[in-house]
């Protein structure tokens, strides 16, 4: 299936891309300093940044949480298989790069349904010689298909780390909890769930202002409480690893978030606020900046 997806006719792929409307994966790309987005995505990111000028810290620290969590389950727990749903556009570092640093034979399946992500998916498939990466052009709302196709690469008789990072807040309750239940139910004993989710518990005024900018653009954008986020683990009989569900910057911090090279002051002064994001050092984060929980669950 992955080969068929990547072999899709470029013209047909272009027809699937609606550049007139923002897409979450591409807005995320804007905040990560990427280049694979359209004016509508940039406008959505700019509106979010205007509503919360330090909102880029949610995105960047969410990505750094993923780095630490994948490192933890690979290095400490010996996990060698990963199913990353809602992958987004390739960035630095991707899950396979993190996991294969510890286990060169690690296998990773990426899943996303944005045709722009598909167009760039070959960048996700540069595996180590010993390991393997694949990409599924599929929707989180179709977990049965994801599991069926992922089983062509992953061995579901061995532990798998399921990554649902900053994706479930785009689904309403009636879908989100059922989908996680089906996905986790298919995982063998010893598997892990790496999950992060936006919340209005922490700094409600700033994140609700951001929420309005995205719902105005037609996104489903559900902010869930600490108890609601914990449910994704407890409803599925997962044991929460320390430090449980916490703001992402407080989940096993190692203070090793990459610091980008900064251009000279004159060049930086000529950039707009969106363009400046890629040069921000996120290590100056405070509790007042973060609106996203992260956690790691273990399946008995």
Residues 96-110 pLDDT 10s: 999 999 999 999 999
- As a 3-state breakdown, the chain gives helix, strand, coil percent values, each rounded to 5, of 45, 15, 40
Q: Look at residue 135 in the predicted model and tell me its pLDDT.
A: 92
Residues in Cβ contact with 257 at an 8 Å cutoff, skipping those fewer than 6 apart: 60, 61, 64, 282, 283
Check: CB of residue 198 under 8 Å from CB of residue 207: yes
User: Quick one: pLDDT at residue 258?
Assistant: 78
Q: Kindly report the backbone phi and psi dihedral angles of residue 236, in degrees, each rounded to the nearest multiple of 5, phi listed first.
A: -110, 20
pLDDT for 8 equals 57
Please state the pTM of the whole predicted model: 0.91
In this model, does residue 85 exceed pLDDT 60? yes
The reported pLDDT for the residue numbered 194 is 98
């Amino acid at each position: 299936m992955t080969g068929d997806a990547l072999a899709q006719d470029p013209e047909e792929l272009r027809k699937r891309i609606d550049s007139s409307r923002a897409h979450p994966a591409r807005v995320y790309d804007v905040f990560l300093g990427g280049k694979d987005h359209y004016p509508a995505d940039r406008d959505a990111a700019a509106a979010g940044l205007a509503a919360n000028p330090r909102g880029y810290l949610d995105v960047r620290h969410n990505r750094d949480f993923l780095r630490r969590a994948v490192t933890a389950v690979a290095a400490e727990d010996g996990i060698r298989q990963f199913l990353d749903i809602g992958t987004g556009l390739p960035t630095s570092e991707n899950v396979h790069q993190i996991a294969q640093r510890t286990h060169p034979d690690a296998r990773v399946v990426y899943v996303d349904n944005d045709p722009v992500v598909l167009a760039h998916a070959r960048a996700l498939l540069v595996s180590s010689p010993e390991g393997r990466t694949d990409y599924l052009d599929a929707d989180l709302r179709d977990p049965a298909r994801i599991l069926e196709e992922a089983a062509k690469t992953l061995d579901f008789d061995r532990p798998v780390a399921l990554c649902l990072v900053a994706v479930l807040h785009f689904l309403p309750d009636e879908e989100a909890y059922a989908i996680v239940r089906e996905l986790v139910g298919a995982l063998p004993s010893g598997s892990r769930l790496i999950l992060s989710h936006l919340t209005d518990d922490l700094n409600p005024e700033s994140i609700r202002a951001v929420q309005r900018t995205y719902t105005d653009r037609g996104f489903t954008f559900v902010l869930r409480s600490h108890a609601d986020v914990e449910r994704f683990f407890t409803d599925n009989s997962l044991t929460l690893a320390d430090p449980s569900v916490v703001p992402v910057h407080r989940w096993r911090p190692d203070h090793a978030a990459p610091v980008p090279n900064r251009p000279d002051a004159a060049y930086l002064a000529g950039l707009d606020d969106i363009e400046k994001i890629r040069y921000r050092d996120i290590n100056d984060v405070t509790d007042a900046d973060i609106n996203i929980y992260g956690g790691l669950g273990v399946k008995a």
